[in-house]
């Protein structure tokens, strides 16, 4: 509770008393005039004493980051294998296995550290600002520059940047859940006093406050350790969790297969009879197990996603807050977009010629009262800014004073200002949407302080509504004005101010490309339905037959099947409440199983942003919207979203390709090596097997830099199809290996090379081991080039990156040299093995297309690139096929309807299961993937020490 004499700070209705602040709460803050704020000298002194408004966060020590790279199931298995190898005297294998673990750990540490630095740089670019009064001038400043004594303006959606005291303005609703856990917002001033703690969020209201404490002196600053303890928690995406389950299944299956061959060799072939044979059998079995463990898979996925997240921030100015969010962007099927500021410019202009005035007022009076009700300190408010550009504030021009105000909320949809004119007249001016200005009970009684119904006649009100309807049909947003001269007891209607918010130049093109990428766009706005329809036509949302419905059609506790179908088929909703937005998102997500994106910028958007899998805080969004979002845009418009979709799909195509490849290689190596033992009792030298596993992991790291094209269809987090592909590639490669080894294998016969059927004896020569080793290397390395093209021939995709090609060639050449120099393979044998390895690769590529496209009916599908978007004109319109520009408008609408049905068909094929809808998994193990930066973003003043 505040001190009892804090009540002296504010006296309702006394402007002078409200502009004076007592110094009782902090000894070192002198009395401050709230209309002037701190002077420059006072600010400098406070900054020198208290420092910047930020919390120093102890970063994860580098040694801990390094050590945790060696903690995990796969690392443990490899260490056990290394210890057992040493136990049986195979120090070479012991060294190579430890080298495998060490190299992977060092690479993982390097990449995670680089990712931390990159993400820190990106998140540092996201600034929170607040309006502060200093030297009598209102300016927008970064919250880290605040000092005790500063006068700031808090509005809905802002995160309270420091511990502050309410001075004047609305009674504010503050979400304190981050500190208290209370689900219901508190009201300030009220039973909890006037002091508002930093880290809470303004839900509703506008008020001037004075900063009491900043940085580590605040209550949240003192508890910073607890606030940031989840910063280092790793977030495992649903996709990665599935893949890791598959990996562990593959490892378990390998254990079983190796155990079978171990028992066969020991019991049937008497290798348990003496210590030497037994130890050799154990070491070989351990080597096969090592080959089955894709230890680099988490690293490659981490590197690929970290690089992708960095590029998203640098290229498209889209900051992704966590890895699961990156997965969701790639899977997104429907984007629900706000209109103002996203589809439109938010640079609002007022058409003075079309201002509508009631009979008792003129157009100049309408603009005068509108300007009197505008707050010049709300620097980022597009409506107040537009009004003050059209008419200078009477507070500056004529000496009027704004005593207090009741701020806008998405429920009341109006603001109310208490004004004193230069003649001493007391006015109460209301501005907002017409329905709430004519009758505040329209649509249901709200909880605002003032309620009224204008004194004008019913016929007059009906006429004004027709005027408003006509302006909205022309695409104008309208603000209505009413005034009271008796303290708010009764109001008379003044007039209507028409405002135009034109679409962004690239919105039409962006929507066309989003539709082409099978992402349906639905416009959700609080504006009038006619305005939404007109805007939808201008941006070609769905031709002339656009379906925009009022938000009231989706309201209600339960959604009927009719309502669900309406939501599914509509192109958008107008005149919505925050609950309407959330309901639309929830129906699309839970009832239709689609991955939904939602854009927003205000506190009223936060519920819908948090309900969507892909909440997108657009440029200029409030803190509340940023904290609820998965992506934060720092450039305006929809085009960054399209860029993010394309890049995220490219990222996941690379990740999926590597997952299929690495699992296929594990299957290939384990089956091939064990079949040779089952059939011919021929075991390849363990050192070669482990060395191959090491080289194979290292050679695939450049996959993160590979060149791929994004699919036109969403990339879902499905593991089943990837396992089927991996089994196909692994078993077919094994079959081709058996063909080579048992039919046309080159063998040394005297001094000449001859071809004949080979019979593997109950021991393998050094040359035989080298031959098997080299073939395994050539075919496994080349597999990546067919796996990276899911449904087409390997030459039909973008050429692979030079880094990947060079890495594969370098590995194959190195193994060839080792086979020749170290294991005495003949040069001609090496050439023949190369030839059959490459021939096997071509056979697998052809069989892939036949099996997946011809037999299973998978479609190759077209791809999309961001370059296509950059090169297209701003008026580009894409349907399923190019539109004939000469056809009639209704024919174009018919084509767009066909394209819409085609997109819905794609959405139906890409629905999530119930388990997939549930979301993501957060673990405390500090292993595998990236961390969530949501906690860091929630406290904008944090920095690392």
Q: How far is CA 450 from CA 203, 490, 495, 927, in A?
A: 19, 10, 20, 56
pLDDT at site 756? 35
pLDDT at site 904? 84
Domains 236-308+654-708+717-855 and 351-460+476-495 share a fold: no
Q: Is the pLDDT of residue 2 over 60?
A: no
Q: Is the pLDDT of residue 430 over 70?
A: yes
DSSP class of residue 881?
S
Q: How far is CA 333 from CA 647, 715, 871, 903, 910, in A?
A: 15, 10, 24, 9, 8
Query: Measured between alpha carbons, how far is 31 from 328 in angstroms, rounded to an integer?
Result: 52
Contact by Cβ (8 Å): 519, 513? no
Q: How many whole angstroms from its chain centre is CA 789?
A: 26
What residues have CB less than 8 Å from 119, skipping those under 6 apart? 306, 309, 310, 930, 933
The overall pTM is greater than 0.85: no
Beta strands in 668-729, from DSSP E residues, in sequence order: 710-711
The reply to whether CATH 1.10.150.530 applies to domain 236-308+654-708+717-855 is no
With CA atoms as reference, report the closest residue to 816 among 734, 702, 695: 695
Query: Measured between alpha carbons, how far is 43 from 49 in angstroms, rounded to an integer?
Result: 10
Q: How far is CA 897 from CA 257, 545, 904, in A?
A: 55, 9, 11
Contact by Cβ (8 Å): 100, 75? no
Report the 10 Å Cβ neighbour count for 881. Answer: 9
Report the 10 Å Cβ neighbour count for 763. Answer: 10
What are the b/e assignments for 374-385, b being 16+ CB within 10 Å? Answer: bbbbbeebbbbb
Range with lowest mean pLDDT among 105-109, 829-833, 923-927: 923-927
pLDDT at site 932? 34
Query: Measured between alpha carbons, how far is 63 from 61 in angstroms, rounded to an integer?
Result: 5
Range with lowest mean pLDDT among 562-571, 603-612, 852-861: 852-861
Winning range, highest mean pLDDT, from 31-45, 298-312, 581-595: 581-595
Three-class DSSP category at 747: strand
pLDDT at site 392? 77
pLDDT at site 8? 32
pLDDT at site 942? 46
Average pLDDT over residues 422-428: 90
Contact by Cβ (8 Å): 575, 527? yes
pLDDT-above-70 percentage for the chain = 81
Query: Measured between alpha carbons, how far is 676 from 774 in angstroms, rounded to an integer?
Result: 15
Question: In CATH, what class is 1-233+933-945?
Answer: mainly beta
Contact by Cβ (8 Å): 796, 789? yes
List residues bridging with 33 in a β-sheet: 20
Contact by Cβ (8 Å): 777, 815? yes
**Domain chopping of the chain, boundaries:** 1-233+933-945, 236-308+654-708+717-855, 318-345+503-634, 351-460+476-495
Domain 351-460+476-495: CATH superfamily, name plus number: Calcium-transporting ATPase, cytoplasmic domain N (3.40.1110.10)
Average pLDDT over residues 273-283: 74
What are the b/e assignments for 614-639, b being 16+ CB within 10 Å? Answer: bbbbbbbbbbbbbbbbbbbbbebbbb
Average pLDDT over residues 817-830: 86
392-399: long-range pairs with CB below 8 Å, 24+ = 394/368, 394/421, 398/422
pLDDT at site 118? 62
Mean pLDDT for the chain?
79
- Per-residue confidence band for 437, with pLDDT thresholds at 50, 70 and 90: very high
Contact by Cβ (8 Å): 81, 97? yes
| Residue 181 or residue 466, greater confidence | 466
Contact by Cβ (8 Å): 862, 710? no
pLDDT at site 7? 33
Dihedral sign for Cα atoms in the order 262, 263, 267, 269: negative
Three-class DSSP category at 493: strand
Range with lowest mean pLDDT among 246-255, 372-381, 509-518, 728-737: 372-381
pLDDT at site 101? 77
Q: Is the pLDDT of residue 9 over 50?
A: no
pLDDT at site 836? 92
With CA atoms as reference, report the closest residue to 718 among 850, 915, 903, 586: 915
Q: Is the pLDDT of residue 839 over 80?
A: yes
Strands 426-432 and 207-213: unpaired
What residues have CB less than 8 Å from 351, skipping those under 6 apart? 476, 498, 499, 500
Three-class DSSP category at 875: coil
- Per-residue confidence band for 555, with pLDDT thresholds at 50, 70 and 90: confident
Query: Measured between alpha carbons, how far is 155 from 140 in angstroms, rounded to an integer?
Result: 13
Three-class DSSP category at 944: strand
Average pLDDT over residues 919-939: 37
Average pLDDT over residues 272-295: 77
Using alpha carbons only, how large is the chain's radius of gyration in Å? 34
Length of the chain: 945
Place of tokens 């080597």: 287
pLDDT at site 725? 92
Place of tokens 């961390």: 931
pLDDT at site 159? 85
Winning range, highest mean pLDDT, from 220-224, 242-246, 344-348, 730-734: 730-734
Angle, CA 206 vertex, CA 201 and CA 207 arms, to 5°: 95
Report the 10 Å Cβ neighbour count for 178. Answer: 17
Write the burial class of residue 542 (CB in 10 Å: 0-12 exposed, 13-18 middle, 19+ buried).
Answer: buried
Contact by Cβ (8 Å): 335, 639? no
Phi, psi of 167 (to 5 degrees): -110, -60
Q: Is the pLDDT of residue 751 over 60?
A: no
Range with lowest mean pLDDT among 377-386, 580-589, 639-648: 377-386
Contact by Cβ (8 Å): 57, 231? yes
Query: Measured between alpha carbons, how far is 769 from 772 in angstroms, rounded to an integer?
Result: 5
pLDDT at site 14? 33
pLDDT at site 17? 32
Phi, psi of 165 (to 5 degrees): -120, 130
pLDDT, tens digit, 9 for 90 and up, residues 398-417: 778 888 888 887 778 899 99
pLDDT at site 567? 93
Query: Measured between alpha carbons, how far is 345 from 636 in angstroms, rounded to an integer?
Result: 8
pLDDT at site 319? 83
Domain 318-345+503-634: CATH superfamily, name plus number: HAD superfamily/HAD-like (3.40.50.1000)
Average pLDDT over residues 168-173: 84
Phi, psi of 620 (to 5 degrees): 85, 10
| DSSP states of 426-472 | EEEEEEE-HHHHHBTTTTS----S---B-SS-HHHHHHHHHHHHHHH
Both tokens of 223, joined, read 């508890």
CA dihedral 233, 236, 237, 243 (to 10 degrees): 170
pLDDT, tens digit, 9 for 90 and up, residues 129-157: 888 999 888 888 888 889 999 999 988 87
With CA atoms as reference, report the closest residue to 618 among 308, 345, 385: 345
Phi, psi of 211 (to 5 degrees): -75, 130
Average pLDDT over residues 735-764: 57
Contact by Cβ (8 Å): 643, 243? no
List residues bridging with 242 in a β-sheet: none
Average pLDDT over residues 312-320: 83
Q: Is the pLDDT of residue 380 over 80?
A: no
- Per-residue confidence band for 626, with pLDDT thresholds at 50, 70 and 90: confident
pLDDT at site 927? 34
Write the burial class of residue 850 (CB in 10 Å: 0-12 exposed, 13-18 middle, 19+ buried).
Answer: exposed
DSSP class of residue 226?
H
Query: Measured between alpha carbons, how far is 784 from 660 in angstroms, rounded to an integer?
Result: 9
Q: Is the pLDDT of residue 325 over 70?
A: yes
pLDDT, tens digit, 9 for 90 and up, residues 66-124: 777 777 766 777 777 677 767 767 677 677 778 777 877 787 777 667 766 666 665 56
pLDDT-above-90 percentage for the chain = 20
| Residue 317 or residue 845, greater confidence | 845
Query: Measured between alpha carbons, how far is 771 from 767 in angstroms, rounded to an integer?
Result: 6
Residue 177's Cβ-side half-sphere holds a number of Cα atoms within 13 Å equal to 8
Contact by Cβ (8 Å): 495, 358? yes
Q: Is the pLDDT of residue 23 over 90?
A: no
């Amino acid at each position: 509770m505040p001190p009892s004499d804090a009540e002296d700070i504010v006296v309702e209705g006394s402007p002078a008393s409200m502009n004076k602040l007592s110094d009782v709460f902090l000894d070192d803050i002198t009395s401050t005039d709230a209309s002037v704020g701190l002077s420059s000298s006072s600010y400098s002194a406070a900054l020198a004493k208290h420092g910047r408004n930020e919390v120093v966060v102890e970063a994860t020590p580098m040694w801990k980051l390094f050590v945790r790279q060696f903690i995990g199931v796969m690392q443990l298995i490899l260490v056990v294998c290394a210890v057992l190898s040493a136990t049986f005297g195979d120090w070479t294998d012991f060294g190579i296995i430890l080298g495998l673990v060490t190299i992977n750990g060092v690479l993982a540490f390097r990449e995670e550290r680089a990712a931390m630095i990159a993400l820190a740089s990106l998140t540092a670019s996201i600034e929170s600002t607040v309006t502060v009064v200093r030297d009598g001038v209102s300016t927008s400043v970064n919250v880290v520059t605040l000092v005790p004594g500063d006068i700031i303006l808090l509005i809905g959606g802002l995160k309270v940047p420091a511990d502050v005291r309410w001075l004047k303005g609305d009674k504010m609703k503050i979400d304190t859940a981050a500190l208290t856990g209370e689900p219901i917002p508190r009201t300030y001033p009220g039973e909890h006093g006037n002091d508002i703690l930093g880290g809470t969020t303004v839900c509703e209201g506008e008020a001037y406050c004075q900063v009491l404490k900043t940085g580590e002196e605040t209550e949240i600053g003192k508890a910073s350790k607890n606030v940031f303890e989840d910063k280092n928690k790793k977030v495992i995406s649903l996709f990665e969790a599935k893949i890791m389950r598959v990996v562990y299944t593959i490892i378990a299956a390998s254990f079983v297969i190796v155990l079978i061959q171990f028992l066969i060799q020991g019991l049937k072939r008497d290798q348990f009879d003496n210590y030497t044979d037994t130890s050799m059998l154990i070491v070989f079995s351990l080597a096969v197990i090592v080959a089955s463990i894709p230890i680099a898979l988490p690293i490659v996925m981490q590197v690929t996603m970290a690089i992708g997240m960095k590029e998203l921030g640098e290229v498209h100015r889209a900051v992704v807050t966590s890895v699961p969010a990156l997965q969701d962007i790639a899977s997104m099927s429907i984007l629900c977009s706000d209109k103002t500021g996203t589809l439109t410019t938010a640079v609002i202009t007022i058409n003075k010629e079309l201002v509508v005035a009631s009979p008792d007022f003129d157009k100049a009076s309408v603009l005068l009262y509108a300007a009197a009700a505008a707050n010049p300190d709300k620097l980022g408010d597009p409506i107040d800014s537009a009004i003050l550009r059209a008419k200078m504030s009477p507070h500056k021009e004529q000496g009027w004073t704004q005593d207090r105000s009741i701020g806008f909320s998405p429920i009341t949809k109006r603001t109310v200002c208490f004004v004193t004119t230069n003649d001493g007249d007391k006015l109460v001016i209301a501005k907002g949407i017409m329905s709430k200005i004519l009758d505040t009970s329209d649509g249901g009684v709200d909880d605002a302080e003032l309620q009224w119904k204008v004194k004008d006649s019913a016929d007059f009100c009906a006429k004004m509504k027709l005027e408003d309807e006509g302006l909205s049909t022309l695409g104008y947003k309208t603000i209505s004005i009413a005034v009271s001269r008796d303290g708010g007891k009764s109001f008379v209607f003044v007039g209507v101010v028409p405002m135009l918010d034109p679409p962004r130049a690239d919105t039409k093109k962006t929507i066309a490309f989003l539709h082409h990428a099978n992402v349906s766009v639905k416009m959700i706005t609080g504006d009038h339905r006619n305005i939404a329809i007109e805007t939808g036509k201008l941006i070609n949302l769905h031709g002339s037959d656009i379906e925009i419905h009022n938000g009231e059609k989706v309201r209600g506790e339960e959604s009927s099947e009719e309502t669900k179908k309406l939501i599914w088929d509509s192109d958008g909703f107008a005149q919505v409440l925050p609950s309407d937005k959330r309901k639309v998102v929830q129906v699309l997500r839970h009832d239709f199983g689609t991955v939904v994106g939602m854009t927003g910028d205000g506190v009223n958007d936060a519920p819908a942003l948090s309900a969507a899998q892909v909440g997108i805080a657009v440029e200029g969004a409030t803190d509340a919207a940023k904290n609820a979002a998965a992506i934060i845009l720092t450039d305006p418009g929809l085009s960054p979203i399209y860029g993010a979709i394309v890049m995220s799909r490219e990222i996941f195509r690379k990740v999926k390709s590597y997952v299929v490849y690495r699992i296929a290689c594990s299957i290939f190596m384990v089956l091939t090596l064990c079949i040779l033992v089952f059939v011919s009792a021929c075991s390849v030298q363990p050192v070669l097997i482990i060395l191959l596993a090491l080289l194979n992991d290292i050679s695939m790291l450049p996959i993160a830099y590979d060149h791929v094209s994004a699919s036109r269809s969403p990339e879902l987090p499905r593991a089943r199809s990837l396992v089927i592909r991996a089994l196909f590639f692994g078993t077919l490669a094994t079959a081709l290996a058996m063909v080579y080894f048992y039919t046309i294998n080159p063998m040394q016969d005297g001094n000449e090379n001859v071809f004949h059927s080979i019979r593997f004896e109950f021991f393998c020569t050094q040359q035989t081991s080298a031959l098997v080793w080299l073939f395994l290397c050539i075919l496994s390395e080349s597999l990546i080039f067919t796996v990276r093209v899911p449904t087409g021939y390997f030459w039909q995709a973008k050429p692979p990156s030079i880094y990947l090609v060079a890495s594969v060639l370098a590995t194959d050449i190195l193994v060839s040299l080792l086979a020749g120099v170290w294991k005495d393979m003949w040069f001609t044998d090496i050439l023949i093995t190369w030839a059959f390895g490459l021939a096997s690769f071509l056979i697998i590529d052809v069989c892939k297309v036949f099996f997946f496209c011809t037999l299973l009916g998978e479609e190759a599908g077209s791809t999309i690139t961001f370059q296509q978007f950059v090169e297209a004109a701003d008026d580009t319109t894409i349907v399923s096929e190019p539109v004939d520009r000469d056809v009639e408008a209704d024919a174009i609408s018919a084509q767009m309807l066909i394209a819409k049905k085609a997109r819905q068909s794609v959405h139906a094929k890409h629905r999530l299961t119930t388990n997939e809808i549930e979301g993501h998994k957060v673990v405390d193990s500090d292993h595998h993937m990236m961390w969530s930066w949501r906690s860091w973003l929630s406290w904008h003043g944090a920095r690392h020490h």
